Structure 1
Amino acid sequence: MKAAVLAVQGDFIEHENMLRRLGVETMEIRQSADLSEPFDALVLPGGESTVQGKLLNELDLMKPLHDKIAAGLPTLATCAGLILLAEHIENDGSYLGTLPVTVRRNAYGRQLGSFYTESQWQGIGKIPMTFIRAPFITAADPTIVRATVDDHIVGVTYRNQIALSFHPELNDDLRIYEQFIKMADRN
């Protein structure tokens, strides 16, 4: 299996390191020409969603990535990646719009509002969760919700997409990545 990691901005290297620990080959998507190389799954990392969205448009990556995800490409999105996938962003439009949720940017506040906790992920168990200027999901079909923290939705799975408010790449727990790889192997 080969996973592509969006590498225009954000913490893409940390995701690559986690995937390599599980024996997954990785590649970086930095420009539209990179999409011609075959890959089996996609990671949308945390970072600045506004910057990432702007770069996706400028680099002509938005529509091709939307089309690949909508066609079933297994996708793991963390923090800003969740915002990129969301159909609705409170007080804003949307970017890729493939995930039927509404998201609130910086829902936990500024950088000082960052925190670490552990919470249940349905089907996995208690996992570590690091939140950095994180969004959370304000509206989603209850059947896709996999994790909550303080009654806020912080993790969902929908068809071929796993989307998280937190950063699994900043902890040693590989179970989210293992679930992602299983999803990709089924495709």
Structure 2
Amino acid sequence: MDKEKKYNSKLHIGVLALQGDFGAHLKALQKAADELGVEIEAKAIKLPAQIEGLDGIILPGGESTTIGKLMVLYGLQEPLQQKIREGFPIWGTCAGLILLANETDNALEGQPLLASMNIRVRRNAFGSQRESFETDLSVPVLGEAPFHAFFIRGPAVEAVGPEVETLATLDDGTIVAVR
């Protein structure tokens, strides 16, 4: 059965495709579009010109130092920072969250960041690859159903500024999602 479209226009969502599992994000966007009855054009973003015309962008997981250096190399850091200042919707998962943070606890000196959220993050907060885990999170802004999350050498948010809203925590109070 075809789902009725809930929106009148197509959403154009970019996924930063410099390093990391951007392909999984592109597939997840299409799956979400199908389930929600929304028309989405998802595309891999590697160059500044590709940002134009987007309704939002996702910064995927990967290695934050590498992604940051590639953002600078490909000329994406400044255009992304400008779009964020203009209120452009951006979502960072794992390394993407690190890139959005104003401060990290153990980044390499000079690591390029977008530095657009008043948060401090701790990289690899949950230990090595062997300590990776999955859990269901309560994320009220997404509805009542639990959100299944994967933590693979992921970051944790250690501090938030007064304008930052905590969206989800682990059972021990560790902040794992903000806006």
Deviation at 1:141, TM superposition (A): 3.9
Q: Does 1:26 align with 2:48?
A: no
Supply the distance in 1 between the matched residues of 2:159 and 2:53 (Cα, whole angstroms).
Answer: 34
Supply the distance in 2 between the matched residues of 1:30 and 1:127 (Cα, whole angstroms).
Answer: 29
Match of 1:156 in 2: 178
Supply the distance in 1 between the matched residues of 2:158 and 2:112 (Cα, whole angstroms).
Answer: 15
Match of 2:8 in 1: none
Which 5+ residue runs of structure 2 have no aligned equivalent? Answer: 1-10, 34-38
Supply the distance in 2 between the matched residues of 1:156 and 1:128 (Cα, whole angstroms).
Answer: 16
Q: Does 1:145 align with 2:145?
A: no
Number of residue pairs the alignment of both structures matches: 156
Q: What is the percentage of aligned positions where both structures have the same residue? A: 41
Match of 1:67 in 2: 82
Which 5+ residue runs of structure 1 have no aligned equivalent? Answer: 158-187
More helix by share: 1
Alignment check: 8 A CA contact 2:134 2:148 kept: yes
Using the size of structure 2 for normalisation, the TM-score is: 0.82
Supply the distance in 2 between the matched residues of 1:43 and 1:91 (Cα, whole angstroms).
Answer: 23
Supply the distance in 2 between the matched residues of 1:130 and 1:31 (Cα, whole angstroms).
Answer: 29
Supply the distance in 1 between the matched residues of 2:20 and 2:161 (Cα, whole angstroms).
Answer: 28
Using the size of structure 1 for normalisation, the TM-score is: 0.78
More strand by share: 1
Structure index of larger Rg: 2
Match of 1:172 in 2: none
Provide the aligned C-alpha RMSD in A.
1.5
SS in 1 for 2:44: strand
Query: Matches of residues 1-187 of structure 1 in structure 2 within 5 Å?
Result: 1-21=11-31, 22=33, 23-35=39-51, 37-92=52-107, 95-123=113-141, 124-125=143-144, 126-141=146-161, 144-149=165-170, 150-157=172-179
